[in-house]
Every structure is written in C-alpha cells, then in structure tokens.
Structure 1
Amino acid sequence: MQTLYLGCLALGVIFAVVSVLVGDLIGNALDGVFDLVSFDFLNPTVLAGGITVFGGAGVLLTRYSGLEDGAILALSLLIAAFMAVLLFLAVIKPMDKSEVSTGFSMQDLPGRIGEITVPVPATGYGEVMVRFGAGNSLHTAASFEQLSLPAGSKVVVIEVREGVALVSEFEERKGADV
C-alpha cells in the first residue's frame, strides 16, 4: 500500500510541476477536447489535488499511526474527498466567476468611446484613453477627419491603422432613444 500512496503523491507533485512549466502549452493544444465532460467538479486541478492528498495522507497515516491498511485506505479516501471539495469550493468555484483576462486586441478598439489625454493636432498624433473592463488603456491617436482634438474631449475610435487609433469627436444626440 505504501507504494500506491507514494505513487499518488509523486503523480500529484509531477502534475503540479508540469502544470506550472508547460500548462499553457498543454491547455492550448487540448483546447476544447474535454468540453463534452464539463462537470465542474471534474476539474483537473481538483482531481490532481485529491490524488495528491490521498497519497500524502496515506503515507503519513502509514508511518505515524497504528491503524491497519483498510482503515488507512478509507481514512485517506475521506481526507482526499474532503480536501478536493474544499479546493473546489474555496478556489475553483470563485475563480470561475473572476475576470479571465485584462488583455485586449487592437481590433477591439473600433467603436469604443475614449477620452483624449494628450491633445491630437489636425495632422499629428496625440493619445486616447479607452476603458477595457476594469482598467484603462492608452493608445496613440490621430484625428480621423484631420481636426484638432483638445485634451478631455470624448471621442469614438473609428478604426486602427498601423497601430494608431483613428478617432473622431463623440457627439451624443440629445433626446434620441438609444
């Protein structure tokens, strides 16, 4: 039994190390493969954590308790199940509700409303601040109509060319239904 416990413990440690080192590569390669079996509690982190705790509990109980093999096996399974549920409820479930990424693409800019932070001259460059999620991002901006735009102006991004946001003054229509 000691070999089983040590094997589970080693498997869990190896899984953790591999996940840290190449987890993103494996995740991208297998993207969507396991979507058919999408039970939340079958999360690989929960399963690997449960197997690791099972192995660790088995090793510790074998070495430091006077219990028999059957009792150690049952107790190790109970501890592993409890820790897997705790891991799921305390870590995995709250992480599912969190923001996935603060990243964005320049192709996401057109149509976004922003504010000029550095004045944009008629034929030059300035800077626009655009809100993405909970944060703001600053981008080089040029006037779409070749009009100067002062700092503080509300603008809309019309398009992105060569990494420069082409903006136009944002005019809110008063009394119009949106």
Structure 2
Amino acid sequence: MESLFWGCLVGGSLFAVVSLVLGDLIGSWIDGIFDVIAVDFFKPIISASAITTFGGAGILLFRYTNLGAPIIYALAIIIALFLSILIYFLYVKPMENSENSTGYSAAELPGKLGEVTVPIPSQGFGEIMVKFVAGNTLHIAASWDHREIAAGTLVVVVDEKEGIVQVSELYEEEHNKEMV
C-alpha cells in the first residue's frame, strides 16, 4: 500500500519537474492530443497535483495514523480532490481569464488603420503607428500609391513586404478635391 502512495508522489513530482523544464517542447509535440477532453478540470496541472497529493496524503496517513487501508485510501482521495479543486479555482481559472497576448503577426497588418507619425515622402520611408488591443506598434512605412503623406494623417495598411508596410491615405476625397 505504501509503495502505491510513494509511486504517486514520485511520479507526480517528476511530471511537475519535467513539465516545468520541458513544458513548451512537450506541449508542441502533443499539441491538440488532449483537445478531445473538453473538461477544464482534467488539465495536466490539475491531474498531476491530484496524483501527487494522493500519494503524499496517503504516505502521511499510513505512517502517522492507525486507520485501516480503506479509510486511508478514501481520505487520500478526498484530500486530493479537495486540493485539486482549490488549485483549479484559485490558480488555473484566474490565470486562464488573465491571458492576454501582446503578439501580432505581420499577416494581421493589411486592413489595419494607422496614423502617420513621421511624414512619408512619395519615394521614401516614414513611420506609422498602428493600434492593437494590447497596445500601439510603430512600423516603417512607404506610400502605396507613391504620394506624400503628412504626419497626423490617417492611413490604412494595404500590404506588408520585408518589414515595410505599404499604406494609403484613408480619406482620399480631400486629396481629390485639391487636384480638381
């Protein structure tokens, strides 16, 4: 009986250490395998904590109480479930709700609105600021239609090539009125 508890304690602890050290690597290898299990409570961190707690509680109850084996198993399971529920509601769930990525892809830029921060000459480069949910980003910009664009002008990103965004003025009516 004690060897089962030690196995759970050591196995759960090893899983925690391996997932801490190699978590991203292993996560990319098994990406999507556990998507079949849609229940949030069966996440690896919860399962590992339950198994480790079961082992630790079982060892302590076996060594320091005079309870029978069925009662020790039942109490170890209850303690493991209780601690897993606490970990889920006090750690995992709040962390899921707080996830926010500041990353973006260059493929997301076309169609985004921006503001010229450094004037863009007709045949050169300037700079624009694009607003994302997580914050503002600055990009080297060139005029897509080879027109000068003044600072403060609202633009739309048309394309992105080699780190340079091609932009066009958002409101071209004003420019067309000047030409008439």
Q: What range is the shorter-chain TM-score in?
A: 0.7 to 0.9
Question: How far 1:29 sits from its partner (Å)?
Answer: 2.0
| Amino acid aligned to 2:4 | L
| Offset from partner CA, 1:80-128 (integer Å, 9 cap, x none) | 0011112222222333334453221111100001122233222222222
Q: Which residue of 2 aligns with 1:176?
A: none
Q: Which runs of no fewer than 5 residues in structure 2 stay unpaired?
A: 174-180
Q: Which runs of no fewer than 5 residues in structure 1 stay unpaired?
A: 174-178
CA distance in 2, matches of 1:163, 1:58: 58
Structure 1 residues 150 and 56 mapped into 2: Cα distance closer, same or farther (>3 Å)? farther
| Offset from partner CA, 1:149-171 (integer Å, 9 cap, x none) | 23332211100011101111222
CA distance in 1, matches of 2:20, 2:156: 41
* Greater gyration radius: 2
- Number of residue pairs matched by the alignment: 173
Q: Which residue of 2 aligns with 1:11?
A: 11
Q: Which residue of 2 aligns with 1:85?
A: 85
Q: Which residue of 1 aligns with 2:58?
A: 58
For 1:11-90, list aligned pairs within 5 A. Answer: 11-90=11-90
| Offset from partner CA, 1:38-77 (integer Å, 9 cap, x none) | 2222211111111111112222333444444333222111
Q: Could you say what secondary structure the match of 1:97 adopts?
A: helix
Q: Which residue of 1 aligns with 2:176?
A: none
% of aligned pairs identical? Answer: 50
Question: Is the 2:126–2:140 Cα contact (8 Å) retained in structure 1?
Answer: yes
CA RMSD of superposed structures (Å): 2.2
| Amino acid aligned to 1:27 | G
| Offset from partner CA, 1:114-146 (integer Å, 9 cap, x none) | 122233222222222212222222221111122
For 1:155-166, list aligned pairs within 5 A. Answer: 155-166=155-166
Q: Could you say what secondary structure the match of 1:76 adopts?
A: helix
Name whichever structure is richer in helix by fraction: 2
Q: Could you say what secondary structure the match of 1:71 adopts?
A: helix
* TM-score for both structures, normalised by structure 2: 0.84
